[in-house]
């Protein structure tokens, strides 16, 4: 039997884990598609994606079309005569003309248990919602947004203090493991994809910086999840003393005296405690503009807090 001809499309570190696993298993893609190099860092120098870095180190054919809607890009892919295109966090839309190119279709490594959390930010959405678990779905791609039938899933619990960055890394490893484990059965036609129940679908839209602003009128438990969900990107934040303060770690504190939301209840060795819509939130790691991260206790020692109310 001829070796399957596979293409891979992905961009960030999440996708690199799957590509590394494919190569380690002996399946070297005929070509790797990744987004064009982007400006990054203070110097805004053009920077390769994690997928491109690994692919070049392995001597793989790297292709970076700006769009796959371009007929020339589609023709170039068609000339590769792929059996399967594996997609993981590629970041570009695959039009129907591209979905139709591989003989066995396109396979997506998606970071949720579909149909829950279709869309761009499933890791953050699961954490914000307080889900007890999440996982990976291997999905047959179709034109709709993450609507295709699912070949296989794997689940993991979400840790009570885990950040989105930590969960991302565990899901990237889980996705790579599930992909390599089930790919042979998919290629051999021994695994049938099961249609999703669309009535159970939830959606995880793209994240904006405004989404990460802390609203002290919300319950403390929700704000604590928000801080974890937006760590490391874009970072939960609030305004205080004319500055935008980022909060990287917090915990739900014992309720203090009744006080308006945003009022500072205490500043001690445990951090800065703030009244919320219900409960109180203890800020344990914060960052002022242009400064490094410090503990809430260190921030608390820098100011007088009597009568302070954030966003007032």
Residue 15 sits in a domain whose CATH number is 3.40.50.170
Question: What pLDDT does 256 receive?
Answer: 67
Whether residues 18 and 165 share a domain: the answer is yes
Say how many domains are in the chain: 2
Of 204, 229, 261, the residue at which a domain comes to its end is: 204
Token pair in block for residue 304: 């007088």
Helix and strand element counts for the chain (H, E): 8, 17
Tell whether 167 is covered by a domain: yes
Q: Are residues 86 and 159 in the same domain?
A: yes
164 and 272 in a single domain? The answer is no
Q: Residues 158, 275: one domain?
A: no
Helix axes 13-24, 50-57, angle to 10 degrees: 20
Q: Which two tokens stand for residue 312?
A: 């007032």
Does 179 reside within a domain?
A: yes
* Within-domain flag for 310: no
Pair 278, 188 in one domain? no
Supply the pLDDT for residue 312.
58
Which residues does 3 contact at the CB level (< 8 Å), separation at least 6?
A: none
Measured distance CA(238)–CA(245) in Å, rounded: 5
Q: Give the three-class secondary structure for 279.
A: coil
84 in a structural domain: yes
* CATH (domain of 269): 3.10.25.10
Give the sign of the dihedral formed by CA 291, CA 12, CA 162, CA 274: positive
Whether residue 312 is contained in a domain is answered as no
Q: Are residues 231 and 82 in the same domain?
A: no
Quick one: 196 and 247 in the same domain? no
Do residue 131 and residue 185 come from a single domain?
yes
**pLDDT at residue number 1:** 52
Vertex 139, ends 208 and 169: CA angle to 5°? 55
pLDDT of residue 3: 85
- Report whether 152 contacts 191 (CB < 8 A): yes
Q: Which residue has the tokens 């490391």?
A: 232
Provide the whole-model pTM. 0.95
Q: Are 17 and 115 in a shared domain?
A: yes
Q: Which residues span the domain enclosing 130?
A: 6-204
**Residue 306 is assigned to a structural domain of this protein:** no
State the pLDDT at residue 42: 75
Q: How many CA atoms lie within 13 A of 170 on its CB side?
A: 17
- Per run of 10 residues, the mean pLDDT along the chain (length 312 residues) is 89 98 97 93 86 98 97 98 98 95 98 97 98 98 96 98 98 98 96 97 96 97 98 97 96 84 94 95 97 97 92 68
Cis upstream peptide for 139 (omega within 30°): no
């Amino acid at each position: 039997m001829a070796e399957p001809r596979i293409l891979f499309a992905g961009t960030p570190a999440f996708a690199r884990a799957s590509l590394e696993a494919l190569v380690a298993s002996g399946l070297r893609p005929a070509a790797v598609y990744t987004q064009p190099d982007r400006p990054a860092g203070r110097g805004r120098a053009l920077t390769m994606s994690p997928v491109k870095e690994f692919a070049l180190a392995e001597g793989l054919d790297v292709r970076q079309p700006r769009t796959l809607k371009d007929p020339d890009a589609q023709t170039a892919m068609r000339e590769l005569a792929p059996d399967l295109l594996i997609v993981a966090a590629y970041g570009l839309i695959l039009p129907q003309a591209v979905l139709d190119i591989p003989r066995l279709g396109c396979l997506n490594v998606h970071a949720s248990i579909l149909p829950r959390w279709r869309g761009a930010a499933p890791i953050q959405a699961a954490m914000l919602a307080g889900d007890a678990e999440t996982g990976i779905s291997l999905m047959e791609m179709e034109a709709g947004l993450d609507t295709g039938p699912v070949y296989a899933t794997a689940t993991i619990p979400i840790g009570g203090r885990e950040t989105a960055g930590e969960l991302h890394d565990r899901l990237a490893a889980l996705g790579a493991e599930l992909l390599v484990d089930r790919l042979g059965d998919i290629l051999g036609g021994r695994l049938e994809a099961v249609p999703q129940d669309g009535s159970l679908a939830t959606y995880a839209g793209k994240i904006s910086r405004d989404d990460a602003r802390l609203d002290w009128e919300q319950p403390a438990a929700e704000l604590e999840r928000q801080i974890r969900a937006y760590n490391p990107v874009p970072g939960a934040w609030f305004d205080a003393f004319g500055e935008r303060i980022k909060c990287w770690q917090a915990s739900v504190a014992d309720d203090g005296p009744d006080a308006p939301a945003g009022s500072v209840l205490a500043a001690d060795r445990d951090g800065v405690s703030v009244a919320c819509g219900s409960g109180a939130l203890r800020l344990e790691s914060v960052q002022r503009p242009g400064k490094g991260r410090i503990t809430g206790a260190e921030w608390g020692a820098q100011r007088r807090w009597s009568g302070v109310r954030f966003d007032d």
